[in-house]
Amino acid sequence: MPLARTSERLLLGPGDVTPSHDDLEVIGVFNPGAAIIAGEVVLLARVAERPRERRPGFTPLPRWTAGEGITIDWVADERLDKTDPRVVKRVSNGQTRLTFVSHLRVVRLGDGSAVREVSSTRLDPESDGEEYGLEDPRITVLDGRYRITYVAVSCHGVTTALASTGDFQRFERHGVILGPDNKDVVLFPERIKGDYVVIHRPSSPAGFHRPEMWLARSPDLIHWGRHEPLYGGQADWEADRVGAGPPPVRTPEGWLLIYHASSRPKPGQRVGVYSVGALLLDLENPAHVLKRTVEPILVPTSDHETRGFVAGVVFPTGLIERGPTIMLFSGAADERTTVLELDRDDILNAMS
């Protein structure tokens, strides 16, 4: 049974954010990383944009280009296989393109319950490896700085890059840390036996394995190795994709990891349903799963989650602890940002 939501609030939608360019429109503000700085909750939200212009018989595909910024490729509809609302595939060679381009925007929330300011501060694409955009950041405090893992998308694939900041005004980019295809990368908030540790989600079209999360370790946050499987989807609700949500939280019982999972699409559907589960990992050896939630603890139920750009999605990416309450900042239907409040003990008690 899904857990009771202590509260649920809609924080952001497309109409709340000004486009980065006059010829683009915002279609989604979602999947934010979350942190506390100077006592205030700050989000780094993904903002997805697409061209305003429409041409009958053609699909506009935006991308970032050095020296030009955002440019639009107009492709005839008959040359494309429109597999789902997020992507199209060229009939000639099977290559995929996003129908939008994303950047990351700083949003300030005060105590976390409502938006105080949608800042003009943002992270835009700035290299060929980010030509299709920056997506789905996660934020972890390590060594006195906010470390941001985010997805960088380009014609070279889906990679994970690293940035850092001390104030959410100036950012340092550290480049790609995990090559294609890999995403949903979260850093543990402390070293474990001297190593930095991440959870990541490698993807392969080969079909040899069920969807899985993996662990990797590093001496410096840049060079990653000692990869090993962590957890693979075991039930129908996690049969298509499994990936980390927010960074893990230390509890006396172990590392609490909230994760997302999706079911396989049913006939007539392009995308499966995205739900939420939880794992409890050993504090000294996080590759050891102590407990898990057999059933999802959250499923799409509100209008924000069941209707939107991609219907049937609840996708947690940010977490703030308020005593026994967990504030879970989530994407809803790939279009909006919500904050859901859960009781931490309810999550732990739902595991077996």
**CATH code where residue 233 lies:** 2.115.10.20
Tell me if 253 sits within 8 A of 244, measured CB to CB: no
Is 77 a member of any domain?
Answer: yes
Which residues of 155-191 form beta strands (DSSP E)? 157-165, 171-178, 182-187
Residue 13 lies in a domain: yes
Tell me the two tokens of residue 23: 């010829």
Phi/psi zone of residue 121: left (φ > 0), alpha (ψ -120 to 50 degrees), beta?
beta
CB atoms within 10 A of CB 259: 27
Residue 223: inside a domain, yes or no?
yes
Residue 220, classified by CB atoms within 10 Å of its CB into exposed (0-12), middle (13-18) or buried (19+), is: exposed
Q: Tell me, yes or no, whether 163 lies in a domain.
A: yes
Calpha distance 180→131 (Å, rounded): 14
Q: Identify whether 150 is part of a domain.
A: yes
Phi/psi of residue 129, nearest 5 degrees: -75, -5
In this prediction the pTM is: 0.96
Q: Give the domain range for residue 308.
A: 7-349
Could you list the beta-strand ranges (E) of 170-322. 171-178, 182-187, 196-202, 212-218, 225-232, 241-244, 249-251, 254-262, 274-281, 289-292, 314-322
- Give domain status of residue 1, yes or no: no
- CA dihedral 342→347→350→351, nearest 10 degrees, is 160
Number of domains in the chain: 1
Q: Is position 2 within any domain?
A: no
Q: pLDDT per position in the chain (352 positions), as tens?
A: 799 999 999 999 999 999 999 999 999 999 999 999 999 999 999 999 999 999 999 999 999 998 889 999 999 999 998 877 789 999 998 889 999 999 999 999 999 999 999 999 999 999 999 999 999 999 999 999 999 999 999 999 999 999 999 999 999 999 999 999 999 999 999 999 999 999 999 987 767 888 999 999 999 999 999 999 999 999 999 999 999 999 999 999 999 999 999 999 988 777 899 999 999 999 999 999 999 999 999 999 999 999 999 999 999 999 999 999 999 999 999 999 999 999 999 999 999 9
Angle at 218 between CA 214 and CA 221, to 5 degrees: 105
In a domain, 41, yes or no: yes
